[in-house]
Structure 1
Amino acid sequence: MKTSFLARAAGLAAVAVLAATPAGAQQQAYPDKPMRIMVGASPGGGTDILARVLADKFSPSLKQPVVVENRPGASNTIAGELTARAPADGATLLLATNTAQAVAPHILKLKYDPLKDLQPVGLVAVMPNVLVVSASSPYRSVKDLVAAMAAKPGSFKYASSGIGSTQHVGGEAFNLATGMKSIHVPYKGSSQAHVDIIAGEVDMMFDSTSSAMGQIKAGKFRALAVSAPQRSPELPDVPTLAEQGIKGADVSTWYGLYVTAGTPRPAVERLSAELSRTLKLADVQTRIKALGGEPGGLTGEPFAAMNKQEFDHYGQLVRDANIKAE
């Protein structure tokens, strides 16, 4: 990958303008029923963690119960499809990642169009991916890992949260950049993959920091490299892939909030304003940074443009790495 996510989004961020929330009876009436945030991953992963942060902050402000509903599987797209088919009343939200919004559509045959059937609300956070192995693994650097992979071609396995996930793309980008070949082992979510990484059943994973940070800090994972242009402030002693001679394999995970396409504009604008307010809260910023990420800042059309840009970017990467459904 030639440029980082943040570099590609910089121009869009510069023109992002927070939409003003209009007054009026329709705006005041929303929301008028309990709300749910759909998550395409299992409990305990990065998407689930962020969704629960939003639910906790949205509920008292919007004066409605806000629950998180986990629907893992199919590279996060089950939750996306359910949101796309939900009533367009703003009661069903989706916290999605670039897995479902930009990668999976180029690999899987979906029954909905992520760019047309989901209305972007705003960018929640951006997290770098990190190459991790079990703390009991003999590999202490990318150099050690690549040397072992070269000695036993085709015998190494890497985990992901599903076909078309950023972890999957990260693994294939690593294969492409190093000339190695490791075997992809998909799971329904990062938390399930973690069990096998720790047990040594799978050799490695290119997980998002939001999912992996807990295991790293608990001493169960060893982080070998951050797949981003700069080191993570939360992992200052972990070098980047580029610092270790691996270029073109940087992959980050971003998280965005969506509603069903056709949701009335006042409802979308209310949610965008609520998201922007929430992301400015000190405790929320601290939580996101502790996960190794950065709070988002794009809303409305700039976020929609970023999503389309990422869709095109990952489409090219999928073709270059010849990533296919398995």
Structure 2
Amino acid sequence: MSRLGLMLGALLSVCAGPIGVQAETYPSRTIRVVVPYAPGGGVSILGQIVTNKMSEILKQPIIIDNRPGAGGNLGAEIVAKSPPDGYTILLHTSAMSSASALYSKLPFDPSKDFIPVTMVISTQFVIAGSPKDPATNLTELATEAKATPGALNFGSSGPGSSLHIFAEMFNSFTGIRMVHIPYRGDAPMVTALIGNDIQLAFLPQANGIANVQSNLIRGLGVTGTKRMEALPNVATAAEQGVKGLEVGSWNAMFVPAGTPPEIVKTIQQAVAQALADPKLRETLIQTGQEPVGDTPEQFAATFKADVARFSKVVEVAKIPKLD
């Protein structure tokens, strides 16, 4: 072969490598979904249900990686510092939108270090009490707390979590002061309610409904504008005179900033397709979770608005900054 032929052959072989890599179809290997809360909690259960169907759609394994701690910030940091290639996804709650307002220092910027992919579900909260505490509704709990300042405790899934913020809002709106006890997820928080280690907790709808219906904990109220069909005897906070708690939460997926738009779109479409499955939808709706699956653009707008809303809530409720 001539010298020119050898040079051309070498050039073609060099070019073939990058072209082959660029042509690789996403996904081509296992995807990791980081859940920044403990196994057995509502977010983890949702993640397993949805990713099982996504795995069928994308034809690749998807594993749930539970990384609880720091109110969800530990898991979020792991994803923020992961390669932006679509193989590490964050499944977080609306606590993601309050992190900037609540923490004096964060190892990531929720608005700059992530791309919002899609809202998976939206939900209300069940305001739960301990079956060993005498209070059977929010009015009675507020009266008890005022009579014994600092003697009652409320739990959350971690400092800065949405469950923490809404309990602080309840404190502020009712003029009481309960002591905050953080847990690594909502599963251990339910155990604390059962044992009367805490007397109040805002629980994700799925866990709240299941545990109230099982009579393990007491339903003191719900945060929506109307009662839940699954808990018709539990009044809304507004019905009980507590205004301003007509709030909900969401679970959503994020990827690291810099992830290619086509990969973001592939993930969102897989979530939307999974949520369109009749059996999966029925499972979620029965536990009070509303399937969403909106576009990255739609969820980005929601996320931006929630960041602003929670910033105002933290300021009004005078919630101190966390380290």
Task: Normalising by structure 1, report the TM-score.
Answer: 0.88
Pairing partner for 2:277 from 265, 278, 281: 281
In structure 2, the partner of 1:254 is 250
Work out which of the two has the higher radius of gyration on C-alpha atoms and give 1 or 2. 2
> Secondary structure of the equivalent of 1:131?
strand
CA distance in 2, matches of 1:150, 1:81: 39
CA distance in 2, matches of 1:270, 1:310: 25
In structure 2, the partner of 1:5 is none
Q: How many residues are paired up?
A: 301
- Structure 2, unaligned stretches of length 5 or more? 1-20
> Secondary structure of the equivalent of 1:75?
helix
Q: 1:105 to 1:192 in 2, by over 3 A?
A: same
In structure 2, the partner of 1:163 is 159
Counterpart of 1:165, as a letter, is: S
1:182 aligns with 2:181: no
In structure 1, the partner of 2:11 is none
Q: CA deviation at 1:210?
A: 2.5
Q: CA deviation at 1:132?
A: 0.6
1:154 aligns with 2:150: yes
CA distance in 2, matches of 1:214, 1:166: 20
Q: CA deviation at 1:286?
A: 1.5
In structure 1, the partner of 2:97 is 102
In structure 2, the partner of 1:304 is 300
Does structure 1 retain, via aligned residues, the 8 Å contact 2:99–2:110? Answer: no
Does structure 2 retain, via aligned residues, the 8 Å contact 1:241–1:247? Answer: yes
Matches within 5 A, 1:46-61: 46-61=42-57
* RMSD (CA atoms): 1.6
Task: Normalising by structure 2, report the TM-score.
Answer: 0.89
Pairing partner for 2:191 from 186, 191, 195: 195
Q: 1:26 to 1:215 in 2, by over 3 A?
A: farther
Does structure 2 retain, via aligned residues, the 8 Å contact 1:27–1:267? Answer: no
In structure 2, the partner of 1:65 is 61
CA distance in 2, matches of 1:183, 1:112: 28
Pairing partner for 2:259 from 245, 259, 263: 263
Q: CA deviation at 1:78?
A: 1.1
- Deviations, residues 13-68 of structure 1 (Å, cap 9, x unaligned): xxxxxxxxxxxx96871101111110000011111011101221111211111000
| Stretch of structure 1 that moved more, 254-263 or 244-253 | 244-253
Counterpart of 1:291, as a letter, is: T
> Secondary structure of the equivalent of 2:299?
helix
In structure 2, the partner of 1:127 is 123
In structure 2, the partner of 1:118 is 114
CA distance in 1, matches of 2:263, 2:150: 51
- Structure 1, unaligned stretches of length 5 or more? 1-24
CA distance in 2, matches of 1:220, 1:136: 10
CA distance in 2, matches of 1:273, 1:258: 14
Q: Percent identity?
A: 34
> Secondary structure of the equivalent of 1:120?
strand
Q: 1:291 to 1:28 in 2, by over 3 A?
A: farther
Does structure 1 retain, via aligned residues, the 8 Å contact 2:34–2:88? Answer: yes
CA distance in 2, matches of 1:104, 1:251: 17
Does structure 1 retain, via aligned residues, the 8 Å contact 2:274–2:280? Answer: yes
Pairing partner for 1:313 from 305, 309, 314: 309
